[in-house]
A and B are shown apart, each in its own frame.
Chain A
């Protein structure tokens, strides 16, 4: 089992700017030029107004914890050796939600906990994980 690697993001032409910025420890999201809504995950069109003018802008990397799970049995064998670990859904300050890995102790996890981005290296690739705000 040791040579099973962590599943890497399957980057597309549309999402590449997101991952390129993450590789530089920067967190960029798309914002719609027409309706001003922020968009995640990256798209070619705005799902709110269906406008096609989305601009990459630096986002705050701040949010609140909407839900979380301590994973004991994983759906992917590479992650099993890391169990138990926490994943969660973060509602970003800009509006959209994303799923992420949480660097937070189980005892400290609670609903609406303020969290912030923390870039972590896995498989020599940086990923946008989240931690408790101020940690």
Chain B
């Protein structure tokens, strides 16, 4: 068996994303998410001795673990802030396992949540190189950064708008089977995506996640303790991570983006081939992010994303089930908690609790996270058996 951090997920809790969360605080949403995860795991908070949190921009910029511990009434013997943007959720899972394996704690709660209030678009207080060298030229925010990455993919590989639109199409189609998804009852056709308003060319509105409020928590424990768990544990079989840059202008070439390392690393640790995965739970803040990942995992050659999406199906009964919860494109993105939705869907599927969207006999899932501008990447292989 290849070396890997060992641990198991025994509890999950996820709030239904809502567009706006009037009257809520991020700390309050964190508490709600942790309560749900504890209930699901069938344990009390006294059994939690580790805490991983994200950076809560605006509300608690510093001392986040202490603030959250105090709010929840926890006294963890291992705690940290994980700050990897959309890769934070997946990044927490292997860090929790590594801390458990190192003997620093036994049961870790990993939690992310975000409020979203109408008319409160926060202006970043950043004073980093992006603020100095991108923003003054008219390039503010993630949409333009990902548009530049998408354009490069189209130019280098000849990928087409229809290819990218089909990623959003499958996400929205899968969301129709998930009552928690923000677009549960809002079907769209491929043509609707191709005709949606241009935001930052070549990215259209329906290729971009909807910002939401929400929260998600998972509880990770030792493989030993997981044997007594209420639900079937979901095991960490492999993990990979790589960070290469921050600003889009500093990104490596399309075929050398960091997923080209992190995904193969996770698959190698798990000793599994990309073709043998039952679920691809791939981070999808934008359609082109999925293209890069499919090309990084050995099931689709670099540049062949277009051919791949045209010749496969991606629903729960398809040959490559992809983001069966709707992905963030269909489920909604509650800031960093959106990344955790990919972890939670993998647990749901591997437990066999997917109901209408259950993948028959799901045993292995690839879960990924992506932050900044395809710069912070994490990949996990989760499995239903030890």
Contacts and interface: CB of A to CB of B under 8 A. Distances in A.
Interface of A: 6-12, 15, 41, 66-76, 79, 82, 84-85, 87-89, 97-101, 111, 122, 127, 129
Contacts, number: 104
Nearest to A127: B136
B179 interface: no
B133 A127 contact: no
Contact of A79 (B129, B140, B147, B249): B140
Contact of B138 (A15, A67, A71): A71
Interface stretch (B48-56, B199-207, B270-278): B199-207
25 contacts: A7-B135, A9-B136, A10-B132, A12-B132, A41-B129, A41-B132, A41-B133, A66-B152, A67-B151, A70-B201, A71-B147, A72-B198, A72-B200, A75-B143, A76-B138, A79-B140, A87-B144, A89-B152, A98-B133, A99-B133, A99-B134, A99-B148, A101-B138, A111-B156, A129-B137
A111 B132 contact: no
Contacts of A97: 249-250
A7 B130 CA distance: 12
B197 interface: yes
B315 to A, nearest CB: 31
A6 B140 CA distance: 11
Interface string B152-168: 10011000000000000
A75 B144 contact: yes
Contacts of B143: 73, 75
A71 B201 CA distance: 6
Interface string B113-157: 000000000000001010111111111111110011101100110
Interface residue SS majority, chain B: helix
B247 interface: yes
B348 interface: no
B243 to A, nearest CB: 14
Given A67-B155, A89-B148, A6 B248 contact: no
Contacts of A67: 148-149, 151-152, 155
Given A10-B132, A69-B200, A71-B200, A76 B152 contact: no
Interface string B47-77: 0000000000000000000000000000000
B148 A7 contact: no
B127 A10 contact: yes
A99 B137 contact: yes
Given A67-B149, A69-B148, 10 more contacts: A9-B136, A11-B132, A67-B148, A67-B151, A73-B200, A74-B140, A75-B142, A97-B250, A100-B137, A129-B137
Give the residue among A6, A79, A89 with the most B Cβ atoms within 10 A: A89
Nearest to A69: B147
Interface string B197-228: 11111110000000000000000000000000
A97 B250 CA distance: 6
A10 B147 CA distance: 24
B132 A99 contact: no
A20 to B, nearest CB: 14
B226 to A, nearest CB: 42
B5 to A, nearest CB: 30
A71 B136 contact: no
B137 A101 contact: yes
Contact of B148 (A10, A68, A75, A129): A68
B120 to A, nearest CB: 14
A79 B137 CA distance: 9
A38 to B, nearest CB: 13
B250 A87 contact: no
A87 B249 contact: no
Contacts of B139: 71, 75, 87, 99
